[in-house]
Structure 1
Amino acid sequence: MQNSTPVTVDVTHPIKCTLIDWKRLPDHVEYVIEVNNQLEIGKSWRIHRRYAEFRKLNSQIEKFGADLGFPPKKFIGNAKEVFIKQRMLALQEFLDAICLHPFLYACPVVVNFLESFTETYTGLHEWILLSFRDKRQWIIEQQRKHCGWRPGKIHYEIRCGSSKLMLSGVRYGPDRFGPVASLNNALEFLRTLQCPHLNESITSWATDGGIIYIRPIFKKGTVRDRLYKSSWKDDFFTKYRIDSSIFSFEMYDIRLICRQLLETLTLLNAISVPYLDAHAGNVVITECGCELIDLDQVLTGQPSFRRPSMLYFQTINTLEDMFVFIFGEFLFELLTGFFTFPVHSANEAIAIVPLMFQPLLKSIFLPEVRSLPRLQDLINSSLFVDVSIAKMKQREIRIPGDIKEVFDGLCNNMLERYKRDRRQFNNIKKQRKFEQLLNSEAEKLRRKEIIKEQLKLRTVGEENC
């Protein structure tokens, strides 16, 4: 399989950044950062950054509204060793805060700062122009540089006659499967699906470098744009500031949107299309109801930003389990505006949503048994059983053999890598728990008592001799 993709790393992998040293140069101080990919044993690298580069990074991501505790600039005494060490501690806290959420540590400005993803917008732009040279009916008008969170993805407003459209290009990810020819066949198949709650792209094609697709521009934005009362044209961190007030949907509207999404996820699960980016930023509301967009990018094998949260759950073992999980996160986002479900405080999180939604969220995030409900179980729940929706007219969907091979291979890659990463993640959690136990006061006291007892026994033995 040919693949000229520059990078196929998983940028959602949890990372750890440690400031390990500093050095004074003639006109500034450089800090040495060790970056560790926590799910790939032995994968770490070191970078050198000066305070001005930290400050530039902070100015780019502080638009998000998160308090990252960035240390202020100091003009006098900033070369003294005592001050440098104090600043180093503050910068460590700043990096720790960034590493808490994939929206921060995996966003383009941070991955470029940390060198965890090295391709620039220039490289992406050249790829698009090269792939676009024989598409003379499309005219590129404007690049939308910062409207998404994912590195390796680029957006343009384009024109065809009097119609304005959106072009997106996505690099291949670590789960990609199949040669370019098979991917193009699969893209054509996806555009033929007649699901009323799936918005097919106008056109799409695969290249050696990634997948490009063109879709309509939705002037009212996505469901997430409606939640945050933002313009689809604004950059990601400005649109979705965490201190923004959130628009509340009516309870029936939430039930209707979710029921329509469940219908789409059921279809995708049936034909083994592992589209796990079903979040409020990829759902639009049209005169036909809610529609899922950007399905084409599933064939790139890029990971979902929900993947780090999935690693905490032993109940996720199949594609359907993943669909159920992302549906739970989608519902939670509609109710609260939070991008991801806070797995560390599940009880408190569920307690803040309306009572009618709590049992379903508990069945997903706090299951009483070691398994998740099925998609059909969610459809048959009291929340959705009486919600009427438009359904597919097609009774049967026939998938050609080469396309089925692409879908199955993509699913296998995704599930196998997920399970491998989860094992490593569990090992890390056990190691941390063990280290915390060793360093606890109770454990230190227990070890001290054991040593005292051993010394006492040794003394008695020597006296008997």
Structure 2
Amino acid sequence: MARLIVPQRLSNVQSSIDATLPMTCTIESSYIVDGHGEYSIRVTRMSNDPLTSWIITKRYREFVDLNNILKDCGFNFELPKKKFLGNTDQIFMSERQKGLQAYLNKLVEHVELCNSLIVHRFLDPHSHRTNYPESALQHVSMFIRSMNNTYQIIEPLFHFGWRYNKNYFLASKIGSPKDERYLCHYGLDKALVEKDISNCLRLIKSITHPLIIPIEDFYANESGTLTVCRFYNRGSLKDYIHRTKPANGIYWKRYGPTSAKRRCDLNQIKTIGRQILEGLYFLYENNLVYGHLHSGNILIDLEESQTIKFLDLTNVITGVSSKYRYHLSNLKHIHTFEQCDIYSFGRLLYELSTGEECPSSLCTEFPHVVPVPVQQILSKIFISSGDLPTIGQLLNVVEHF
């Protein structure tokens, strides 16, 4: 049965702007204010809604502050050099404007980075005045009280993920072993009213499968949704590729451009790929959906027979957009959640083979490190039109690597 990517939304539920959509930034003018230069920038998010375009004003110093933060995370975007004298000269400001425009062009190319709170507060400051961690802590505390203090927060995990409005907390549970930890994550995304979300989450909580992380508890209110699951110290497939652990600092320091990376060999790709496809096959054969396949949502333990486990089955219920929304919006032949996951599986195979994310929506020429059997699968998935292979067909191909 085909499942639409964009579900019908209830009329009384407000739909916020999708922050995963890419942005463009155009410096429209520069001028002198109180002896210093300022730049007027039009920011537009890819959408048909006129409200997704706005004007911000920035000084060069604010670009420098942003760039210093990004440098600390391993990014090296080229910023025009500072000038101490004559920096309000019109000719100089015109040249600097060109350099700043090139800087912004490079920044917005990195769609995932543009979802960080750092960049959001630079490009859309009026929409992000909320202290998201503090707000999330309030809601998590409400949940804990509603559970008669069954859980206890150990520490907040600041900047643990890449979504600016999703916050994570490490917790313990009364009656559980001392070394057993739980991950509470609270997000502001909302596609249904609380009652419907709760009913859907109750259904997902009832799912039992060796390849799926079970939900321990959940909580939904008028602002967002919280779920609780076991915390796995070994981390995700993304952690494995980047040779890091989930507790090793903020997201962009763990996975930034300067992080150490590794590739998987063909046997590892076969084992991981087969189990991912088995998990997807189970979901779709049981009229469930996923839609959020990527390396950060696959937990891994190479010492176990069931090497991987799926995380975040609840994203589709809460209305969270796919990490690959930008790429999927460029591919008009992809219409269902199942097709989304098949496409995402191709991107994941590329990442396992190279240690890097695929830099474009489609790829027809592959690096030599990608094994030939993997290239053959990718050539069937990375197509601009036509029919994608089914999950069952992919399972059969991976079995015969």
Task: Give yes or no for contact 2:70–2:76 (8 Å, CA) kept in 1.
Answer: no
Out of 263, 277, 282, the residue aligned to residue 297 of structure 2 is: 282
Determine helix, strand or coil for the equivalent of 2:399. Answer: coil
* Residue 391 of structure 1: aligned partner: none
Structure 1 counterpart of 2:383, from 342, 366, 373: 366
Give the secondary structure class of the aligned counterpart of 1:380. helix
- Superposed displacement of residue 38, structure 1: 2.6
Question: Of 315, 318, 330, which residue of structure 1 is paired with 2:348?
Answer: 330
The alpha-carbon deviation at position 57 of structure 1 amounts to 1.5
Q: Deviations over 1:411-452 (max 9, x none)?
A: xxxxxxxxxxxxxxxxxxxxxxxxxxxxxxxxxxxxxxxxxx
| Residue matched to 1:248 | 263
Alpha-carbon offset, residue 121 of structure 1: 5.7
Say if 1:117 and 1:137 are closer, same or farther in 2 by CA, change over 3 A: farther
Of Structure 1 and Structure 2, which has the larger fraction of its residues in helix? 1
- Report deviation, 1:137: 2.2
Q: Which of 22, 41, 46 pairs up with 1:14? A: 22
Q: CA deviation at 1:197?
A: 0.6
Corresponding position of 1:297: 315
Instruction: Write out per-residue CA displacement over residues 25-77 of structure 1, whole angstroms, 9 at most, x where no aligned residue.
Output: 22532211101123225331101111222112112223443432122332222
Q: Is residue 11–residue 116 contact of structure 1 (8 Å, CA) maintained in 2?
A: no
Deviation larger for 134-143 or 94-103: 134-143
**Which segment is superposed worse, 27-36 or 349-358?**
349-358
Q: How many residues align?
A: 379
2: distance between equivalents of 1:3 and 1:106? Answer: 27
Quote how far apart the aligned CAs of 1:362 are. Answer: 0.2
Show CA shifts across 1:303-349 (max 9, x none). Answer: 112111112223312222112101111111111122345236x1233
Report the alpha carbon displacement of residue 184 of structure 1 after superposing the two structures with TM.
0.9
Identity of aligned residues (%): 25
SS in 2 for 1:182: helix
Contact 1:350–1:358 under 8 Å retained in 2: no
Which of 208, 216, 222 pairs up with 2:236?
222
Amino acid at match of 1:18: T
**CA separation of 1:123 and 1:78: change in aligned 2, threshold 3 A:** same
Cα shift at 1:120:
4.7
Computing the radius of gyration from Cα coordinates, the structure with the larger value is 1
User: Quick one: distance in 1 between partners of 2:36 and 2:330?
Assistant: 42
- Does the 8 A contact of 2:159 with 2:251 survive in 1? yes
In structure 2, the partner of 1:140 is 153
Cα 1:319–1:230 change in 2 (3 A) is same
Give the superposition deviation at 1:352: 4.4
Q: 2-side partners of 1:154 and 1:65: how far apart?
A: 23
1:367-415, Cα deviation, whole Å (9 max, x unpaired): 7x7111111110111x2258xxxxxxxxxxxxxxxxxxxxxxxxxxxxx
Residue 357 of structure 1 deviates from its aligned partner by: 0.8
Structure 1 position 265 matched with structure 2 position 274: no
> How far apart are the structure 2 equivalents of 1:17 and 1:242?
23
Where structure 2 has 5 or more consecutive residues not aligned to the other structure, the ranges are 1-9
Q: Say yes or no: does 1:375 pair with 2:391.
A: yes
**1:77 to 2:94 alignment:** no
Q: Measure, in 1, the Cα distance between the counterparts of 2:134 and 2:255.
A: 25
The RMSD of aligned alpha carbons is 2.4
Aligned residue in 2 for 1:167: 184
Tell whether 2:117 aligns with 1:108.
yes
- The answer on whether the counterparts of 1:228 and 1:247 sit within 8 Å (CA) in structure 2 is yes
Deviation at 1:127, TM superposition (A): 4.3
Q: Please say if residues 131 and 207 of structure 1, whose CA atoms lie closer than 8 Å, have aligned partners that are also in contact.
A: no
Q: Secondary structure at the match of 1:140?
A: strand
Matching of residue 208 in structure 1 with residue 241 in structure 2 = no
Contact 1:65 1:243 in 2 (8 A): yes
Corresponding position of 2:4: none
2:193 aligned to 167, 179, 185, which one?
179
Contact 1:64 1:237 in 2 (8 A): yes
Q: Does 1:320 align with 2:329?
A: no
Distance in 2 between residues matched to 1:22 and 1:341, nearest whole Å:
33
Give the conservation status (yes or no) of the 8 Å contact 1:284–1:291.
yes
Q: Distance in 2 between matches of 1:25 and 1:206?
A: 47
1:228–1:240 contact (8 Å) kept in structure 2: yes
TM-superposed deviation, 1:116: 7.5
Would the aligned equivalents of 1:2 and 1:208 in 2 still touch at CA under 8 Å?
no
1:179 and 1:227, CA in 2 relative to 1: closer, same or farther beyond 3 A?
Answer: same
Q: Over residues 127-159 of structure 1, what are the superposed CA-to-partner deviations in whole Å (9 max), with x where a residue is unaligned?
A: 441452324222223222212111211111222
CA distance in 2, matches of 1:339, 1:192: 33
Asked whether 1:35 is paired with 2:43, we answer yes
Matched AA of 2:209: C
Deviation at 1:256, TM superposition (A): 1.0
